[in-house]
């Protein structure tokens, strides 16, 4: 037991060291690379590239259908030329009245009106007072920009929404604002949310109570997740107010747009406006009311900004479609999950590169995996998830690059070691090969080339499967694998068929060696044992012949040559064994002595040949009517014995004796001679009659003579 424990310990400890060496390097590399990537990300270095890929995902995504619930009335360059700039209060009032007459759900005036623009101030004030669901805009004051006050009448009616936007460092709008809190403690609602809430109110959906301390806005079953400073690819972003990530429908021109002049000149059917949200705003390039979004630029095109009024329509559509249509919002993972995601790909890169140990294969696989990560995150984006792509790919490539560089260094060391080994082993007369863990040949000496019969360049280029028969190559590989996994020196006998088709018996000693750079080698030394094996085979053949001859001699010595039954020697041996067994098992053994009646007359009248045939017939009949465990013997002449081990009782022995009498007396015809033969049987029992073997035989023999003298074809029990 102690030896087995020590043996298993010798197996486990090296295996544990190899596992720690492998996993420890992989874990250390992946952790370090992931830590560096997270640090770079924390410093904001990756933020622009992550934004750029996020924008590209939008541009790759199929365009969504136009949201017919929103109509834009744009004031374009022709409108400015026709009605003047800035648009007067009178023109604006006339526009509002005509739009209101078409019965929209709500009107959004995305035009600042902090000062009157004559003529028509009174008409505009009247429109502000009388038109329902009219929402104006204001610009809230920030640290960087002054505010713009809303029209006082709309402010008093609380029909004002701010149109401040959360712009990223690259000037693009990827977030929307729902609420904003000013320094005076007031909570302001965004222009887009105001209009969306009016539309949703008609659908029976009301805004749930919101306060600056609340964490979420919920409309029906839709929760607008509040933006946090490190959501998505953002790093320490300004999260003031209630922000959310915007899922834009598309680029400029996504929503139906009508020039202001068409409304004023009655060229638009009321059905185009009825029950819709109408947003009035500038679409004139000269006013420069532009915003950049994810759709604003691409790889091979100049920036194409979106008008401010169109962006407001996008925000309104986002809110309404999320609540009514179940349109997805942009969702992000919690930061710990993003860290785990980055670490996971760092570990994958290190683990795969370590396993492959081939720069070429590793680079190819890593490229495929970066494409796969990008594709998988794009599919997730289609489902509304923003998952970090650049950090994951950077971690994957970085950890793989470290491991690839490590193995490139080892390969340099390996090349120098290989050259040194080649110069040494060429001086050794025995065939020697050196392989790596991938079963690739690294070094072969001249003796190996001569023994196998191929030149060195052929042996180095081809695998064992290409050089040797399949069963030989498979055995070589199995033994190599065993050596790599056990780390013990091993010697194994194999066969090797050389280039000339000659099969050699070889003894191969395999051992593992590691150079200073940590490269692991399998070194095999071959000895040709063909002559020894042939000699051994001849000796084995001679030994087998001797064994067979001895077995035949023993059978001949222990069996009757005529009937093939056990003779007196084997009978005594079997009887002795049966008595020992009966004693240990407390069982009976019955011994039956048989003598054929008037057998001498058959020999005298029919001849010895017929007598021999009769003896064979009796022997076969005896074997046929007894159990396989019973022993039938011929002691000589016409005397037979039967050993019945484990007989239950004397009556059972009597039944067996009667069966023998009936079997032997059956009609016998031998070569045309009709013979009538009977027998007399004497029966003794162990241990009831005697416990002595010789006495048991004498008792059965005496009982047999008594049966013969009593009338023949009878059986008699021993009479003590």
Backbone φ and ψ for 673, nearest 5 degrees, come out as -95, 125
On whether both 605 and 699 belong to a single domain, the answer is: yes
pLDDT of residue 719: 79
Measure Cα distances from 193 to 27, 128, 315 in Å.
49, 19, 8
Measure Cα distances from 602 to 338, 597, 618, 640, 669 in Å.
108, 10, 14, 17, 13
- Least confident residue range of 78-82, 272-276, 660-664: 660-664
pLDDT average, residue stretch 630-642: 88
pLDDT-based confidence at 416, cuts 50/70/90? low
Does position 649 have pLDDT exceeding 70, yes or no? yes
Does position 418 have pLDDT exceeding 80, yes or no? no
Percent of the chain at pLDDT > 70 equals 91
- Whole-angstrom Cα distance, residue 201 to residue 277? 13
Query: Rounded to the nearest 10 degrees, how much is the dihedral formed by the CA atoms of 401, 403, 406, 408?
Result: -60
Compare 65 and 406 and report the one with higher pLDDT.
65
Does position 328 have pLDDT exceeding 80, yes or no? yes
Q: Is residue 7 part of a domain?
A: no
Percent of the chain at pLDDT > 90 equals 45
Does position 16 have pLDDT exceeding 50, yes or no? no
Does position 603 have pLDDT exceeding 50, yes or no? yes
pLDDT of residue 415: 65
Question: Model's pTM, two decimal places?
Answer: 0.60
Q: Is residue 421 part of a domain?
A: no
On whether both 324 and 385 belong to a single domain, the answer is: no
On whether both 381 and 272 belong to a single domain, the answer is: no
End-to-end CA distance of the chain: 58
Whether the upstream peptide bond of residue 240 has omega within 30° of 0, thus cis, is: no
Domain enclosing residue 452, as ranges? 428-533
On whether both 528 and 461 belong to a single domain, the answer is: yes
On whether both 123 and 238 belong to a single domain, the answer is: yes
Q: Kindly report, residue by residue over 383-392, the tens digit of the pLDDT.
A: 999 999 999 9
Pairing outcome for strands 678-686 and 588-597: antiparallel
Q: Is residue 417 part of a domain?
A: no
Q: Kindly report, residue by residue over 333-386, the tens digit of the pLDDT.
A: 999 999 999 999 999 998 888 888 777 888 889 999 999 999 999 999 999 999
Does position 605 have pLDDT exceeding 90, yes or no? no
On whether both 225 and 359 belong to a single domain, the answer is: no
On whether both 631 and 512 belong to a single domain, the answer is: no
On whether both 123 and 146 belong to a single domain, the answer is: yes
pLDDT average, residue stretch 207-231: 79
| Number of domains observed in the structure of the chain | 4
pLDDT of residue 2: 47
Does position 10 have pLDDT exceeding 60, yes or no? no
On whether both 128 and 272 belong to a single domain, the answer is: yes
Does position 17 have pLDDT exceeding 60, yes or no? no
- Least confident residue range of 49-58, 418-427, 482-491, 615-624: 418-427
Q: Is residue 311 part of a domain?
A: yes
pLDDT of residue 443: 85
pLDDT average, residue stretch 82-100: 93
Does position 538 have pLDDT exceeding 90, yes or no? no
pLDDT-based confidence at 555, cuts 50/70/90? low
- Whole-angstrom Cα distance, residue 522 to residue 591? 70
User: Given 386, 412, 438, which residue is the final one in a domain?
Assistant: 412
257-259, strands of its sheet edge to edge: 160-162, 134-138, 106-110, 277-282, 70-75, 257-259
Does position 534 have pLDDT exceeding 90, yes or no? no
Strands annotated E in 193-262: 216-219, 222-225, 242-245, 257-259
pLDDT of residue 212: 55
User: Given 500, 533, 566, which residue is the final one in a domain?
Assistant: 533
Q: Is residue 543 part of a domain?
A: no
On whether both 197 and 120 belong to a single domain, the answer is: yes
Query: What average pLDDT does the structure give for the chain?
Result: 86
- Least confident residue range of 67-81, 300-314, 505-519, 567-581: 505-519
Q: Is residue 267 part of a domain?
A: yes
Does position 439 have pLDDT exceeding 90, yes or no? no
pLDDT average, residue stretch 106-111: 95
- Least confident residue range of 175-179, 405-409, 456-460: 405-409
pLDDT average, residue stretch 65-79: 93
Q: Is residue 544 part of a domain?
A: no
Backbone φ and ψ for 106, nearest 5 degrees, come out as -155, 155
User: Given 310, 332, 354, which residue is the final one in a domain?
Assistant: 332
On whether both 73 and 211 belong to a single domain, the answer is: yes
Q: Which of 70-74, 503-507, 700-704 has the largest mean confidence?
A: 70-74
Q: Is residue 6 part of a domain?
A: no
Backbone φ and ψ for 207, nearest 5 degrees, come out as -70, 130
- Least confident residue range of 154-163, 254-263, 306-315: 154-163
* Three-class secondary structure of residue 246 per DSSP: coil
- Whole-angstrom Cα distance, residue 619 to residue 32? 90
Q: Kindly report, residue by residue over 672-685, the tens digit of the pLDDT.
A: 788 888 899 999 99
Compare 22 and 323 and report the one with higher pLDDT.
323
Does position 19 have pLDDT exceeding 60, yes or no? no
On whether both 105 and 119 belong to a single domain, the answer is: yes
Does position 608 have pLDDT exceeding 80, yes or no? yes
Does position 4 have pLDDT exceeding 60, yes or no? no
């Amino acid at each position: 037991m102690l030896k087995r424990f020590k043996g298993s310990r010798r197996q486990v400890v090296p295996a544990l060291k190899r596992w720690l060496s492998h996993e420890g390097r992989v874990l250390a590399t992946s952790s370090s690379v992931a830590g560096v990537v997270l640090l770079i990300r924390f410093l904001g270095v990756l933020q622009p590239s992550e934004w750029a890929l996020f924008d590209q995902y939008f541009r790759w995504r199929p365009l969504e259908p136009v949201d017919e619930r929103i109509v834009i009335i744009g004031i374009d360059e022709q409108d400015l030329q026709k009605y003047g700039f800035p648009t007067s209060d009178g023109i604006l009032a006339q526009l509002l009245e005509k739009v209101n007459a078409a019965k929209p759900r709500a009107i959004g005036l995305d035009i600042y009106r902090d000062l009157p623009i004559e003529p028509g101030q009174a008409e505009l004030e009247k429109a502000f007072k009388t038109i329902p669901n009219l929402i104006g805009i204001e610009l809230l004051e920030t640290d960087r920009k002054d505010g713009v006050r809303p029209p006082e009448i709309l402010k008093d009616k609380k029909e004002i929404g701010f149109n401040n936007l959360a712009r990223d460092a690259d000037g693009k709008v990827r977030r929307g604002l729902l609420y904003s809190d000013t320094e005076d403690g007031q909570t302001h609602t965004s222009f887009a949310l105001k209009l969306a809430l009016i539309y949703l109110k008609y659908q029976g959906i009301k805004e749930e109570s919101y306060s600056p301390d609340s964490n979420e806005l919920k409309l029906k079953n839709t929760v607008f997740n509040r933006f946090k400073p490190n959501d998505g690819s953002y790093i320490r972003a300004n999260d003031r107010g209630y922000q959310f990530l915007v899922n834009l429908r598309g680029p400029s021109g996504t929503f139906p747009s009508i020039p202001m002049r068409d409304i004023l000149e009655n060229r638009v059917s009321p059905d185009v406006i009825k029950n819709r949200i109408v947003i009035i705003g500038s679409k004139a390039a000269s006013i420069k009311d532009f915003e950049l979004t994810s759709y604003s630029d691409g790889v091979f095109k100049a920036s194409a900004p979106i008008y401010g009024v169109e962006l407001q329509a996008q925000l309104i559509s986002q809110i309404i479609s999320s609540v009514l249509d179940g349109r997805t919002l942009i969702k992000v993972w919690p930061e710990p999950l993003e860290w785990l995601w980055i670490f996971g790909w760092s570990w994958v890169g290190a683990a795969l590169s370590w396993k492959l140990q081939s720069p070429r294969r590793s680079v190819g696989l890593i490229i495929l995996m970066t494409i796969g990560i990008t594709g998988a995150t794009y599919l997730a984006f289609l489902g509304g998830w923003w998952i970090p792509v650049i950090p994951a790919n950077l971690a994957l490539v970085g950890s793989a690059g470290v491991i690839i560089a490590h193995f490139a260094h080892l390969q340099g060391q390996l090349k120098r070691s290989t050259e040194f080994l080649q110069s040494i082993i060429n001086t050794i007369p025995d065939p020697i090969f050196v392989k790596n863990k991938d079963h690739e040949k690294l070094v072969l000496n001249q003796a190996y080339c001569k023994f196998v019969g191929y030149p060195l360049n052929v042996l180095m280029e081809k695998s064992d499967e290409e050089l040797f028969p399949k069963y030989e190559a498979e055995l070589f590989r199995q033994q190599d694998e065993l050596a790599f996994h056990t780390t013990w020196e091993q010697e194994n006998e194999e066969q090797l068929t050389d280039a000339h088709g000659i099969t050699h018996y070889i003894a191969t000693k395999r051992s593992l060696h590691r150079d200073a750079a940590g490269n692991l080698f399998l070194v095999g030394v071959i000895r040709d044992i063909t002559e020894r094996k042939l000699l051994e085979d001849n000796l084995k053949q001679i030994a087998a012949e001797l064994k067979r001859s001895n077995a035949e001699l023993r059978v001949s010595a222990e069996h009757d040559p005529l009937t093939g039954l056990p003779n007196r020697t084997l009978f005594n041996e079997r009887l002795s064994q049966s008595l020992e067994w009966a004693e240990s098992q407390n069982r009976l053994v019955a011994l039956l002595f048989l003598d054929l009646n008037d057998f001498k007359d058959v020999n005298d009248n029919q001849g010895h040949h017929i007598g021999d045939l009769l003896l064979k017939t009796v022997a076969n009949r005896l074997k046929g009517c007894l159990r396989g465990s019973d022993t039938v013997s011929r002691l000589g002449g016409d005397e037979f014995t039967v050993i019945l081990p484990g007989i239950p009782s004397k009556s059972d022995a009597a039944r067996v004796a009667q069966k023998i009498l009936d079997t032997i007396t059956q009609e016998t015809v031998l070569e045309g001679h009709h013979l009538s033969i009977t027998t007399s049987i004497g029966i003794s029992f162990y241990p009831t009659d005697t416990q002595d073997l010789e006495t048991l035989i004498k008792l059965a023999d005496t009982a047999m003579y008594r049966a013969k003298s009593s009338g023949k074809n009878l059986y008699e029990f021993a009479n003590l």
